[in-house]
Chain A
């Protein structure tokens, strides 16, 4: 994930979950220990789209859905895949065998958070840096005929602050970028959960 995306995630979570749509460049820069110019550049595209407005000294997220869709279209999930393999068995069993530091993403994140799934899914996306242990538990594919169903993504430094499940906005943009027929059902449900 780029710094821009991390900033967008932060703004969306503040607005949608914490009901705080206003923010300053300075507070975001201080929070992430980055320059205000990096924050300013991250806000260029959302401002151009009308998703973020400048009001005096503050910025205000005026259209969360627009920013979320912008992020979803910019997200390059393939670039974040560190490891992928095929694991026999159903998805819940794969999820159960992951390491203690795993952060569940995409379909798994939805199911584990809401104890439900709008559709059956057959791929598991997780965030983890613990590749050595994961490769022991889920060895590389031997038979090239098999299609991968476990994808290990590189987490950014701030993702673990959300616990063992990605926040809904992250879940949304990740699923948006997964070309599976059942992704649409999850996205529709998430839109309802996010109230957008």
Chain B
């Protein structure tokens, strides 16, 4: 059994891809660890970006920016 629900991690991953296409940011948190280790997937997207407010508005419905 995966730690987080696959439905949630899949949506989170798709959201990350969408954000990546639109903005430049530094990925930190769970997905950053996953990119290196390919182990535990994350359920939210955490990033560092000067345009924080824009990304926060975009990153709605349960994701933390």
Measured CB to CB, the nearest residue on chain A to B11 is A112
Per-residue contact bits, chain A 108-150, to B (CB 8 Å; 1 contact, 0 not): 0001100100000000000000100000000000000000000
A102's closest neighbor in chain B, by CB?
A: B5
Q: Determine whether the beta carbon of A92 is less than 8 Å from that of B61.
A: yes
Q: Would B43 and A112 count as touching, CB distance under 8 A?
A: no
A136 CB to nearest chain B CB (Å): 12
B62 contacts which of A95, A99, A104, A130 (Cβ < 8 Å)? A95
Any A CB within 8 A of the CB of B4? yes
For B1-18 the 0/1 string (1 means CB < 8 A from A) is 111111110011000000
Instruction: Compute how far the CA of A99 lies from the CA of B63 in the bound complex, rounded to whole angstroms.
Output: 17
Interface string of A86-106 (1 = CB under 8 A from B): 000011110111111110100
**Of all chain A residues, which has the CB nearest B41?**
A100
Nearest residue (CB) in B for A91 is: B62
A164 touching B7, Cβ below 8 Å: yes
Across the two chains, which residue of chain A brings its CB closest to B2? A100
Contacts of B1 in A (CB 8 A): 99-101, 130
Is the beta-carbon distance between B7 and A112 smaller than 8 angstroms? yes
Question: A165 and B7 in contact (CB under 8 A), knowing A96-B43, A97-B43, A99-B1?
Answer: yes
Question: Which A residues are CB-close (under 8 A) to B11?
Answer: 112
Provide the residues of chain B in CB contact with A96, threshold 8 Å.
4-5, 8, 12, 43-44, 62
Pick the most buried of B2, B5, B43, B62: most chain A CB atoms within 10 A of its CB: B5
| Docked pose: A111 CA to B11 CA in angstroms | 12
Task: Write out the residue numbers on chain B whose beta carbons fall within 8 Å of the beta carbon of A164.
Answer: 5-7
Task: Give the chain A neighbours of B63 by CB distance below 8 A.
Answer: 92
Of the candidates B3, B4, B43, B62, the one whose C-beta lies within 8 Å of that of A90 is B62
Chain B residues within 8 Å of A97, by CB: 4, 43
Task: Give the residues in chain B near A90, CB-CB below 8 Å.
Answer: 62
Contact A98 B62, beta carbon cutoff 8 Å: no
Tell me, in angstroms, the Cα distance from A96 to B44 when the chains sit together: 8
Give bound CA distance, A195 to B7, whole Å: 25
Contacts of A163 in B (CB 8 A): 7
Complex: A165 Cα to B7 Cα, angstroms: 9
**Cβ of B37 to closest chain A Cβ, rounded Å:** 18
The 10 closest A-B pairs by CB, nearest first: A92-B62, A100-B2, A96-B43, A164-B7, A100-B1, A102-B5, A96-B8, A101-B1, A98-B5, A100-B5
